[in-house]
């Protein structure tokens, strides 16, 4: 069955990566509890692999920043919509989003839903 993926790219100050990991760890549990199939967050390590466009340029990083990419896998777009609706009502997410400043600038985050085009799982 084809799956559906939400993808995210965001620039983040390297000094904030540890704080980001804490909220990403909590978020991963919330999405899992509401039915997401997979949840993955990755921090940049080798981002200038010319001759292609470096992730730092793509994400518009500033000095002292790196890039986080993340994805969440669902059964389908309808499943994604149900899971995300439940997640946005979850008290753990509401608490995380209320009052506290996030360790990154949410207005610089890119996100979108993607239909899976090719998928290979190695056993």
Domain count, the chain: 1
Q: What is the pLDDT of residue 62?
A: 95
Q: What is the pTM of this model?
A: 0.92
110: domain CATH number is 3.30.70.100
Beta strands 110-115; 38-43: pairing state: unpaired
pLDDT confidence bin for 18, thresholds 50/70/90: very high
Residues spanned by the domain of 28: 4-115
22-36, 73-87, 89-103: lowest mean pLDDT where? 89-103
Q: Is 121 inside any structural domain?
A: no
How many other C-beta atoms can be found within 10 angstroms of the C-beta atom of residue 80?
A: 20
Q: Is 89 inside any structural domain?
A: yes
pLDDT confidence bin for 120, thresholds 50/70/90: confident
Q: In angstroms, what CA-CA distances link 67 with 2, 45, 63, 70, 109?
A: 28, 9, 12, 10, 10
pLDDT at residue 1 tops 80: no
Q: What is the pLDDT of residue 102?
A: 85
How many other C-beta atoms can be found within 10 angstroms of the C-beta atom of residue 3?
A: 17
Q: Report the pLDDT averaged over residues 45-71.
A: 92
Q: What is the pLDDT of residue 2?
A: 76
């Amino acid at each position: 069955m084809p799956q559906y993926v939400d993808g995210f790219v965001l620039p983040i100050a390297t000094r904030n990566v540890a704080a980001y990991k804490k909220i990403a760890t909590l978020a991963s549990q919330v999405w899992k509890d509401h039915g997401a199939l997979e949840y993955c967050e990755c921090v940049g390590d080798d981002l200038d692999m010319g001759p292609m466009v470096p992730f730092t340029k793509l994400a518009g990083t500033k000095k002292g920043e790196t890039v986080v990419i993340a994805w969440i896998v669902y059964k389908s777009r309808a499943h994604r919509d149900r899971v995300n609706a439940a997640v946005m009502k979850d008290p753990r997410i509401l608490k995380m989003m209320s009052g506290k400043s996030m360790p990154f600038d949410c207005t610089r985050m890119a996100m979108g839903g993607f239909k899976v085009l090719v998928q290979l799982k190695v056993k």
